[in-house]
Amino acid sequence: MLMLRRPLYLTPLLLLALLPACERGTNPAPTAPDVQAPLAPAQAPDAVSLQDVVETRPDYIVGISFPQSAAKHPGLAQALRTYADAARGDLMQAVAGLSGQKPTAPYDLSLQFTGLVETPDVVAVAADGSSYTGGAHGNPLVARFVWLPKTQQMLTAQALFPAKNAWQVISDTSRELLVTTLSQRLDTDEMEGAERARQLQNSTRMIVDGTAPKAGNFAQFEPVMDVSGRIRALRFVFPPYQVGPYVDGTRTIDIPARVLLPIMAAEYKTLFIGG
């Protein structure tokens, strides 16, 4: 996913140092509900039913699918259903705004939940999709849910990295990886001269803004496991518009456990290699 080659007018890291943060685009990507991890193990809620949804009407279409394995973890299942219900509620509100008129193209909600990890210690689910309510394209739906079965907690970025200085480390690492990828891509596209410099500068501005050192910019992440069932890296997920234009889609970077362990809350270190 990364690419580039010839000398730049400014190196990526120098650009990062020089560029001020700029305002994000006017179409921020939707994010998952801010589920806070409880301070102590919570009691598991009653079983939650996860029913796939397929609904086709003249003015709208809905398709939602769940991994049935998530139903084994009621707290996780409830979070998935809450997210899906909110997305469907937004669609139906837009449909109601049509006041019975048929849209040029049916409004559409497509949302797929996919199981990523399932171990005794960590369960992770990805939510990916889009919601179309008019315009040139749909609004992206991107969320990640990391559940800790033994303590019945949703693992959040804020709980994992409570120290303020942790976000500077994660921000700096993310920027370096994303700008390097951008530079490699421009090289692969054989872009040169003023056009190359312009695209590098504009995209770097989005990266700088979208990776500002605060928890909200890194709220979507998924664990990357090793063969022993421990986390070897965290894959931070950036929805369209956060660190690049819509056409770039969802972007990800992997930060290894060795970088994260020194800035991580002590109670979670045993989940990671080296912790």
pLDDT, tens digit, for every residue of 142-200? 999 999 999 999 999 999 999 989 999 999 999 999 999 988 888 777 777 788 888 88
Instruction: Give a yes or no: residue 40 inside a domain.
Output: no
- For residue 103, the domain's CATH number is 3.30.565.40
pLDDT at 63: 98
- The neighbour count for residue 125, using CB atoms within 10 Å, is 26
* Domain boundary, last residue among 140, 155, 170: 155
- Running DSSP on this structure, what letter comes out for residue 168? H
- Running DSSP on this structure, what letter comes out for residue 272? B
Single-letter amino acid code for the residue at 224? V
* Domain boundary, last residue among 94, 129, 155: 155
Say if residues 28 and 216 touch (Cβ distance below 8 Å).
Answer: no
Domain that holds residue 151: 53-155
Instruction: Give a yes or no: residue 113 inside a domain.
Output: yes
Instruction: Give a yes or no: residue 1 inside a domain.
Output: no
Nearest in space to 218 (alpha carbons), one of 149, 267, 160, 261? 160
pLDDT greater than 90 at residue 27: no
Let me know whether 199 and 217 are in one domain: yes
Instruction: Give a yes or no: residue 42 inside a domain.
Output: no
Instruction: Give a yes or no: residue 163 inside a domain.
Output: yes
Let me know whether 102 and 206 are in one domain: no
State both tokens at 69: 């394995």
Instruction: Give a yes or no: residue 16 inside a domain.
Output: yes
- The values of phi and psi at residue 42, to 5°, are -95, 155
Position 135 confidence tier, pLDDT thresholds 50, 70, 90: confident
* Dihedral (CA of 43, 30, 158, 65) sign: positive
Sort 130 into a burial class: Cβ within 10 Å, 0-12 / 13-18 / 19+.
Answer: middle
Let me know whether 165 and 177 are in one domain: yes
Q: What is the pTM of this model?
A: 0.81
* Domain boundary, last residue among 155, 177, 195: 155
Determine how β-strand 153-154 pairs with β-strand 221-225.
unpaired
Count of domains in the chain? 2
Position 34 confidence tier, pLDDT thresholds 50, 70, 90: very low
Let me know whether 179 and 261 are in one domain: yes
